[in-house]
Structure 1
Amino acid sequence: MSMVLFVCTGNTCRSPMAEALFMHRKGDLDWEAQSAGVYAAPGAPASRNAIEALRELEVDLSGHRSQPLTADLVEQASLIATMTEGHRNHILHCFPEVENRVFLINAFGTSKVAADISDPFGGSLSTYKRIRDEIDRALSDLILFLRAQNNRQR
């Protein structure tokens, strides 16, 4: 089974929201998701506002525990979606061999917006909801991209 790895900084806000929303929205797409942070401490819960922002969409993030980005996770990932160009550059610096699998999360839409998803850490619930919605829009494009890839391989 294929796996998409969502990467941010601390793995308590953006990438856990992306992972949970992807799993909630993917339907019958035969992909799994994980998330990690380039500077994450292991075992931290998702931020309170990330949990609240997803609860509004009936997605439960309360069981999330952060994990740092590791060589094993990078190796397992069929596709790595980063929240910022800085995260992408960090991965390419550490793992140059995966260049063909690392993309900015916003790179899959028809607009090909090369925009970073800003870090809501420490922000208000409304900031987290805005970031959640940005991630959700990007995921719609990512899921369409993955479905198209699957159809081409058949």
Structure 2
Amino acid sequence: MFRKILVVCVGNICRSPTAETLLRNALAPSAISVTSAGLAARVGEAMEPSALQVLEDHGHNAQGFKARQITPDIVNESDLILVMEKEHVKQVLKIASHARGKVFLLGKWQSEREIQDPYRQGKAAFIHAHALIEDAVSSWAQRLGH
């Protein structure tokens, strides 16, 4: 049973907080906690404004979000770790090699689809990333029994 899910991207200001918010909402009201972190996090920063706007346009709220850096402790306490790109799997395993069995692409159920970083690419890229994240989150939520 998964109790703690961690979503990971690079800066922890675009993709992972979007996925964190969507997955948390999709799994409510379960006891599963969903958090996020970055491999090179913009620690303490709020969500990137375009990412936040697209999230809010879809009826979700991530006000008060603050980016954080992934650490071995965060990896260890997580039951399931969802990443955006295949390279992120490798980077998480460099932090904690024993996590191999619990690190998967968020897009696993979409033929191992990677979700590219929309950072500094304009609103259309954020809308596209949001749609891919929403699709992947829906698949994970179904498989997690919600």
TM-score > 0.5 by shorter chain: yes
Query: What are the residue-to-residue correspondences of 1:13-92 with 2, within 5 Å?
Result: 13-92=14-93
Deviation, structure 1 residue 146: 1.4
Contact 2:81–2:104 (CA under 8 A) maintained in structure 1: yes
The one-letter code of the counterpart of 2:54 is A
8 Å CA contact 2:7, 2:37 repeated in 1 = yes
Residue equivalent to 1:100:
101
> What is the identity, as a one-letter code, of the residue corresponding to 2:49?
R
1:26 & 1:57 partners in 2: Cα distance? 17
Unaligned runs of 5+ in 2: none
Q: Secondary structure at the match of 2:137?
A: helix
Give structure 1 regions of 4+ aligned residues with deviation exceeding 3 angstroms: none
| 1:35 aligned counterpart, secondary structure | strand
Alpha-carbon distance in 1 for matches of 2:79, 2:145: 14
1:123 corresponds in structure 2 to: 121
SS of match in other structure, 1:103: strand
Q: Once superposed, what is the RMSD of the aligned Cα atoms?
A: 1.4
**Cα displacement (A) at 1:94:** 2.0
Deviations 1:38-96 (A, max 9, x none): 01132011100011001111111221110000111111111000000011110112211
Partner of 2:134: 136
- Decide whether the 8 Å contact of 2:23 with 2:137 is kept in 1: yes
Q: Give the number of aligned pairs.
A: 145
**Which TM-score applies when normalising by structure 2?**
0.93
Find the aligned partners of 1:60 and 1:45 in 2 and give their Cα distance: 12
Percent identity of the aligned residues? 26
CA deviations 1:85-127 (Å, max 9, x no partner) are 01111011221101011001111x2xx5122100000122221
- Structure ranking higher in helix proportion: 1
2 CA distance for matches of 1:29 and 1:129?
28
Residue in 2 that maps onto 1:6? 7
Scaled by the length of structure 1, what TM-score is found? 0.89
Q: Following the alignment from structure 2 to structure 1, what is the Cα–Cα distance between the partners of residues 76 and 129?
A: 28
